Amino acid sequence: MNWIDTTIFYHIYPLGLCGVQSHNDFSQPPVDRLDELHPWLEHMAAMGINGLYIGPLFESVWHGYDTVDYYNIDRRLGTNQSFARFAAQAHALGIKVVLDAVFNHVGRGFWAFRDVLEKRQTSQFCDWFSGLKFEGDNSYHDGLTYEGWAGHESLVKLNLNNEEVRSHLFGAVKQWIDEYQIDGLRLDAADVMDKDFLSALAGFSKNLKEDFWLMGEVVHGDYTAWAQPGRLDSVTNYIAYKGLYSSFNDHNMFEIAYTLQQQFGANGKMLDLGLYSFADNHDVSRVASMLKDPAELLALYVLMFSMPGIPSIYYGSEFGVRGRKEDQDAALRPALNLNELLAHGERLDLYEALKKLIKIRKQHPSFFDGAYRQLLLSNEQFAFSRDLQSGFAVTVINAADHAVSIDIPLDGNQTHYTDLMDETASYEAHDGHLYIEMPPSSAKWLMA
């Protein structure tokens, strides 16, 4: 078993959490703000978190996804030495470290692109950038055009088939492994990246570190085109992401149930993939702002933590932090005071419940290795099991705003079920059926 199989991630967007200025002033000396995040590592460990996805971290113009230097930490966050201290502390606490790798594009301040702007056709780096043409013009009036990510000219697309580009990026990966002992990468915009590059990156990185984990940001499409042997190990499960909250909002559990059946049912397309599960992240509205009924927040996390995949928590969402995606992403990426949240967070009940969920999940292999099997489905109720030969766990969701009695059909001879979230409660099955009373907007984890 690989370390990733039992990992629960915490996701930090450091430029936001550290409250840095929006635009980098390259004339200023580094500020060791990463040192201020060490208490967050202790917070993760106290929750039972054993994986950290953090980034972007490297020198950039604005938001981190416009890299100008892959070999140095963004001066607004600190120095290479301050990140080395941070990574060492994470590892000392038993937390694996996965970095945001922005390899599809760079910022206009990237040194090789500046050389092109200065020397034009005579620059030795012309072939480093996709679609570069010295004709026409762009919105910056450079007298040239090039391909940008999703049409954004501030994000200059790299030519990942160029061997010098690959060597430059792979050299950065080697430095990150050698200096920080990182355990994996989350690849930004993987869904538009050259797949041969991804395969080459996998071969290079796993030769340096055999259990190195590669996860790609993929929104739509057949995930198996990216996550497959010799390429990526995982991708972001955006397909299930929407159903996690809209199934509750619309009182339509068929939505998330359909997705899980298609992905992980007996004939599912993703049976052997450990997809990255999330309720929110730095690019989408906070789940506490998306749910119409805040009382359903815990039930949503129970569902996410028990469905197949690698679960994650976006920083602050364990306290019910809110934020909607509008024209700018700042509301999704706020600076937060950990001590204030621990003392006065809006949803301290959720925080305590998540600690319990994490502990339970880590104790029961069914939740990370059991086969998925749908047991019951209606508009507002949903039950499924995660089956192992040694026993199975049952997740029951009631999305109604009132209490209900549920009749769950079961296969097998198991008759006694323990409520993992309430050790004082247990249930008996009769004639292959489990009858259970469910409070409004609630979820239960049962173990046979």
Adjacent-strand bridge partners of 141: none
Q: DSSP code of 223?
A: G
In three-state secondary structure terms, 37 is helix
Could you tell me how many helices (H) and strands (E) the chain has, helices first? 13, 19
Pick from 322, 342, 345, 333: which is nearest to 20 by CA?
A: 333
Q: Report yes or no: 293 and 440 within 8 Å, Cβ to Cβ.
A: no
Adjacent-strand bridge partners of 175: none
Residue that is written with structure tokens 């692109």 in the block: 113
What pLDDT does 178 receive? 98
What pLDDT does 272 receive? 84
What pLDDT does 328 receive? 77
Q: Report yes or no: 301 and 354 within 8 Å, Cβ to Cβ.
A: yes
pLDDT digits 0-9 by tens, 109-136: 999 999 999 999 999 999 999 999 999 9
SS3 content of the chain, % helix, strand, coil (to 5): 35, 25, 40
Q: Give, for all 448 residues of the chain, the pLDDT tens digit.
A: 799 999 999 999 999 999 999 999 999 999 999 999 999 999 999 999 999 999 999 999 999 999 999 999 999 999 999 999 999 999 999 999 999 999 999 999 999 999 999 999 999 999 999 999 999 999 999 999 999 999 999 999 999 999 999 999 999 999 999 999 999 999 999 999 999 999 999 999 999 999 999 999 999 999 999 999 999 999 999 999 999 999 999 999 999 999 999 999 999 999 889 999 999 999 999 999 999 999 999 999 999 999 999 999 999 999 999 999 986 789 999 999 999 999 999 999 999 999 999 999 999 999 989 999 999 999 999 999 999 987 789 999 999 999 999 999 987 667 889 999 998 888 999 888 999 999 999 999 999 8
Structural domains in the chain, sorted by start:
3-367 (3.20.20.80), 370-447 (2.60.40.1180)
Give the per-residue SS3 of 249-292: HCCCCHHHHHHHHHHHCCCCCCCCCCCECCCCCCCCCCHHHHCC
Backbone angles phi, psi at 97, to 5 degrees: -120, 120
Task: Give the relative orientation of helices 38-47 and 348-363 as an angle to the nearest 10 degrees.
Answer: 60
- Copy the structure tokens of residue 254: 């068929």
Rounded to two decimals, the pTM is: 0.97
What pLDDT does 412 receive? 67
Peptide bond into 39 cis (omega under 30): no
